[in-house]
Amino acid sequence: MEIELLKQYSKPGPRYTSYPAATAFTPDVGAEDYSMLLRDIDPARAISLYYHIPFCRNICYFCACNVIYTKNKEKAEPYIAALTREMDLVAEQTQARLKVEQLHWGGGTPSFLSHEQMNMLMAQIYRRYDFVPGAEISIELDPRETSPEQIGTLADLGFNRASLGVQDFDPSVQTAVNRIQPEDITEQAYNHLRARGFRSINFDLIYGLPLQTVDTFAKTMEKVVGFRPDRISIFNFAYVPWLKKHQLRMNKEDLPSTETRLQILSYAVDRLQKAGYVHIGMDHFALPDDELTVSLRDGSLRRNFQGYSTRGGTELIGFGVTSIGEFNSGYAQNTKSLVDYYRAIEAGRLPTERGLILTQDDRLRKAVIRQLITGLELKFETIEQAFDVRFEEYFARELEAVGEFVDQGMLRFANRSLCVTEQGRFVIRNICMVFDAYLLGQNQGRYSNTV
Ligand SMILES: C[S@@+](CC[C@H](N)C(=O)[O-])C[C@H]1O[C@@H](n2cnc3c(N)ncnc32)[C@H](O)[C@@H]1O
Ligand code: SF4
């Protein structure tokens, strides 16, 4: 990895969990548009479901997720009741009973929920949806907030995948970010998940946190590869204090320089590859026999709001505060305010606050960005077949702009296709930005850094 070269590309940009990025959503899209998107779902095709559980007991200073901080578990009760009512409001639109092939509980901290609350929510989901055999049922777990009993409950409820928040094993880094998580806590959660037969376990790590150095992160990496989780995400720390004021509670001088961040990333990628992990794309790695690696090989890999996914090509309904739904014709996002969310649900209204209906140009660029970010190869012909355009004409400006990446050895032209090189994988966000029509003339300071 050429650090000097990559430094030039460390600039604000979207993470492309969607195209257009959520920052392009507008309040013009409301409950009526959402109803239309829901009505258009084809019941013959299985869908994905996402439930946002926003609660966390403690604040991690680095966190950029949509979180409500509380130690009061009772707060989750009205929330589950509202999720249940929201499912009914959605079902009024979709009419037919839908099939599900992927379910995800994210947060915040879904493991904040008690056994009873988990049982109640899952029972309500199973009452309303049919799950296809082998469906992926996953949850984000905070090792500090789970127990063998809870993992048993989750296994009994059908959960078969889990993502553990680890971030960094170094005690000084953990102190600096207000997340004390001794290694044995992670180990216990990991062992219990394995014992209960979870199919795939993911570790979330972050590079770019305060006090991290290559040496400290190297020690973290040794511990990580010692566990041998099926998947590993190494997120670039999104430092966005203008959105998340609590990030200012970390000492800014303790943040590693761009150079150090890139050295950490370089070390981590190298170490993971030596340990036999496959680089799936951007920040994701997986063992060769994991479904994610298999789908990278067979071209079925997708990208959705949770990152990379084997089944993300389906339409996705999002439930709960801040959740985003992704449909063939557009996106709809629920309100970010819990008060407004409850108010809408009580009034029998879908809690949609923003969204976007895709234009033909959006669809085209979405397909281009998806190919680049999941397949690392953009075949002009497949775009031409799907959209009836002449690629070189439609993207004349973009093809000129990618010349810079070609010159730097990050992209390669081959047989009317663009291939992302090993080096180019690290700047895939920057490459996608060339094809992003919403960035033209936009203030890019609103995004986190690309590498
Ligand atoms: C919802 S949390 C995971 C579940 C649980 N709350 C936990 O922390 O263990 C999702 C993940 O987002 C990542 N994350 C949160 N804030 C981030 C930031 N500012 N930059 C990069 N990644 C971040 C962390 O790796 C975290 O594990
Ligand atoms: S990282 Fe996880 S536990 Fe920490 S505040 Fe964010 S969502 Fe909550």
User: What are 59-118's pLDDT values in tens digits?
Assistant: 999 999 999 999 999 999 999 999 999 999 999 999 789 999 999 999 999 999 999 999
Please report, rounded to a whole number, the percentage of residues in the chain having pLDDT higher than 70. 97
What is the 159 CA–ligand 2 centroid distance (Å)?
21
User: Edge-to-edge strands of the sheet including 417-420?
Assistant: 377-379, 417-420, 411-413
Please report, rounded to a whole number, the percentage of residues in the chain having pLDDT higher than 90. 84
Mean pLDDT of 422-431: 89
Task: At 434, list the tokens.
Answer: 């060339």
DSSP state of 372: I
Do residues 225 and 272 touch, judged by C-beta distance below 8 A? yes
What is the 92 CA–ligand 1 centroid distance (Å)?
34
Residue 183's φ and ψ, nearest 5 degrees, are -55, -35
Q: CATH 1.10.10.920 residue ranges in the chain?
A: 328-446
Confidence of residue 382 (pLDDT cuts 50, 70, 90): very high
Closest by Cα among 197, 136, 135, 192 to 164: 192
How does the average pLDDT of the chain come out, rounded?
93
SS3 assignment, position 390: coil
Mean pLDDT of 156-180: 98
Confidence of residue 17 (pLDDT cuts 50, 70, 90): confident
Q: Is a pLDDT exceeding 70 seen at residue 312?
A: no
Do residues 160 and 199 touch, judged by C-beta distance below 8 A? yes
- DSSP H or E run through 85: helix 76-94
- DSSP H or E run through 354: strand 352-357
- Pocket of ligand 1 contains residue 447 by CB under 6 Å: no
Task: Note the ligand closest to the C-alpha atom of 52.
Answer: 1
SS3 assignment, position 320: coil
Q: In sequence order, what are the beta bridge partners of 167?
A: 205
249: CB partners within 8 A, 6+ apart: 61, 178
CATH superfamily of the domain spanning 41-319: tm_1862 like domain (3.80.30.20)
- Pocket of ligand 2 contains residue 67 by CB under 6 Å: yes
Residue with more model confidence, 450 or 73: 73
Q: Is a pLDDT exceeding 90 seen at residue 282?
A: no
Residue nearest to atom 1 of ligand 2 (CA): 63
What is the per-residue pLDDT across 361-381, written as a single tens digit (0 to 9) for each? 999 999 999 999 887 789 999
Q: Is a pLDDT exceeding 70 seen at residue 409?
A: yes
Task: Note the ligand closest to the C-alpha atom of 140.
Answer: 1
Q: Is a pLDDT exceeding 60 seen at residue 132?
A: yes
What is the 318 CA–ligand 1 centroid distance (Å)?
19
Residue whose token pair is 């869908």 = 47
* CA–CA separation, 71 and 262 (whole Å): 37
CATH class of the 328-446 domain in this structure: mainly alpha
∠ Cα 404 3 292 (to 5°): 85
Torsion of CA 374, 375, 379, 385, to 10 degrees: -60
Residue nearest to atom 26 of ligand 1 (CA): 165
404: CB partners within 8 A, 6+ apart: none
What is the 8 CA–ligand 1 centroid distance (Å)?
26
What is the 361 CA–ligand 1 centroid distance (Å)?
33
Residue 364's pLDDT is what?
A: 96
- Pocket of ligand 2 contains residue 109 by CB under 6 Å: yes
Mean pLDDT of 312-336: 93
Mean pLDDT of 266-281: 94
**Dihedral-angle region of residue 388 (phi above 0 means left; psi in -120 to 50 means alpha; beta otherwise):** left
- CA-108 nearest atom, ligand 2: 7
Q: Is a pLDDT exceeding 80 seen at residue 442?
A: no
β-strands 302-304, 307-309 pairing: antiparallel
